[in-house]
Amino acid sequence: MNFILVLPIVVPLLAAALSLLAWPWRWLQRLIAVAATALLLACGLQLTVSVAERGIQSVQMGNWPAPFGITLVADQFSAIMVAIAGLMGFTVTCYSLASMDRDREAFGYYPFLLILLMGVCGAFLTGDLFNLYVWFEVMLMASFVLLALGGGGQQMEGALKYVTLNLVSSALFLAGAGILYGLASTLNMADLAVKLRAVSHPQLVTAAAMLFFVAFGIKAAAFPLFFWLPASYHTPPVAVSAIFSGLLTKVGVYSLMRTFTLIFVQDTGYTHALILAIAALTMITGVLGAVAQTDFRRLLAFHIVSQIGYLLMGLGLFTAPALAGAIYFMVHVIIAKAALFLVSGIVHRFAGSYDLKKLGGFGESHPWLAILFLIPALSLAGIPPLSGFFAKLALIQAGLQIEQYGIVASALAVSMLTLFSMTKIWAEVFWKEAPAGFVSESAPRSLPAMSGVLLFGPVVLMAGFLVLIGIAAEPVFAFATRAAQQLIDPAEYVHAVLGAQK
């Protein structure tokens, strides 16, 4: 029994149960949440190290042999995703300590955050398609509550749109899983990978693949199914926006990358060309939507959509270097995006607004905040030596290698527009004079020392991480390349799950 694979699920589950027991004591819930997310981060790192050293690992739950029982599998891709989920959980929890209001904390913010992390880690680790559906539902249920918790009219409307679209996506996922079971009589992903190669109706597999593509595409906010994201992500408190932007859409992309490298590789000429086209459209519509926005968080929300396009580009190109680029990009974009959301929250804390027109003068009054904004913003746009540059470089090189010039051109153009909207935020919030006639009385000019540390600490950590993986790109990239090889050649994965029997 390999406990390290189970811990990322058990730790948040137990912590959530404990903090539900600690319902009347807010300080105890906070303590449990911080300790549990720190532990989750440690487990994630340990898992990454152990998978890097010993190859893909799997555990059969309840000792039922695969493919009958539920399998948990960790290859390098899922291990690094668990580690990043732990990092996001820890930083956002610290940030929440200083930013979350008393009412939300009293009504179960921390337990639901922990359940969300459990669902996310479960989705990263499972090796069973139906189990993936269950983890999605766990994650969605927690996210529904976090999104709707303590909200007024706008937040409730956002939550309704989010819930509806995600339930439609779950129903499609379920239908796809049913059709696959009818075809192959198994839902174990490694077993499916073996059995679908010899299936008698490849067209039906492609039809099921399209159901999965739509279902995961909705969750990943790919074109044309992204509209729920800009309608809902800017409505909850900023800590919730940050963890959603970092993790939820990325679970959709992770599932796409998992299923479309392991299971649905019968007709790559059709499916992966389609993914590539969707990737280009996602990038372009996302960034154009962002250019039109004047609200800090809505602008960032549209950028989430645009960055999803780059991840899909890596999957659509479907070569080992492209997937390596996508994995590197995933790590980079999760951190960069969440850091930007947290910065927008700090700006709101000082100025009481998210409206770019009403903000200004932060470069003068808060120069450190300006630097903390600049690092993830320039990284997102792809300026060397930050992480985004190397991620985009890898994707574009991979595109040129197999002569997909269309997607390369749109990736470069979208990069320019990303830089444009980041400079727009920079100019409006940090550079221009604070607009006359708008003085917020409610917001303090300075913070108590403790909440200052809790608000700035996570952003400093994330910005430091972005600089680090930019400067030390080579070892990180070697890791991503190994992870991509495991994705592109599923033999090792299948062997780790099913043993030597196949």
Query: What is the nearest approach in angstroms of other proteins to the Cβ of residue 89?
Result: 23
Of 378 and 497, which CB lies nearer to other proteins in the complex structure?
497
Report d(CA 257, CA 486) in Å as an integer.
12
Query: What is the nearest approach in angstroms of other proteins to the Cβ of residue 122?
Result: 14
CA-to-CA dists, residue 480 to 153, 179, 259, 387, 406, angstroms: 43, 33, 18, 13, 25
The residue with tokens 């890097």 is 52
Query: What is the nearest approach in angstroms of other proteins to the Cβ of residue 72?
Result: 18
Of 258 and 297, which CB lies nearer to other proteins in the complex structure?
297
Report d(CA 46, CA 191) in Å as an integer.
28
Of 157 and 267, which CB lies nearer to other proteins in the complex structure?
157
CB neighbourhood size of 479 (10 A): 20
Query: What is the nearest approach in angstroms of other proteins to the Cβ of residue 108?
Result: 14
Query: What is the nearest approach in angstroms of other proteins to the Cβ of residue 103?
Result: 15
DSSP annotation of 386 reads S
Query: What is the nearest approach in angstroms of other proteins to the Cβ of residue 184?
Result: 10
Of 117 and 183, which CB lies nearer to other proteins in the complex structure?
183
Residues that bind other proteins (CB under 8 A): 130, 133-134, 137, 140-141, 144-145, 148, 151-154, 156-161, 163-164, 167-168, 170-172, 174-175, 177-179, 181-182, 185, 187, 231-232, 234-235
3-class DSSP string for 16-62 = HHHHHHCCCCHHHHHHHHHHHHHHHHHHHHHHHHHHHHHCCEEEEHH
Phi, psi of 66 (to 5 degrees): -65, 145
Strands (E), 353-458: none
Report d(CA 362, CA 338) in Å as an integer.
20
Of 38 and 168, which CB lies nearer to other proteins in the complex structure?
168
Of 294 and 397, which CB lies nearer to other proteins in the complex structure?
294
Query: What is the nearest approach in angstroms of other proteins to the Cβ of residue 342?
Result: 22
Q: Buried (b) or exposed (e) across 212-236, using 16+ Cβ within 10 A?
A: bbbbbbbbbbbbebbebbbbbbbbb
Report d(CA 255, CA 340) in Å as an integer.
25
Q: Indicate the length of the chain as a whole number.
A: 502
Phi, psi of 19 (to 5 degrees): -75, -25
Query: What is the nearest approach in angstroms of other proteins to the Cβ of residue 360?
Result: 22
Specify whether the CB–CB gap between 43 and 82 falls below 8 A: yes
Of 6 and 141, which CB lies nearer to other proteins in the complex structure?
141
Task: State how beta strands 71-74 and 57-60 pair.
Answer: antiparallel
Of 153 and 475, which CB lies nearer to other proteins in the complex structure?
153
Report d(CA 126, CA 123) in Å as an integer.
6
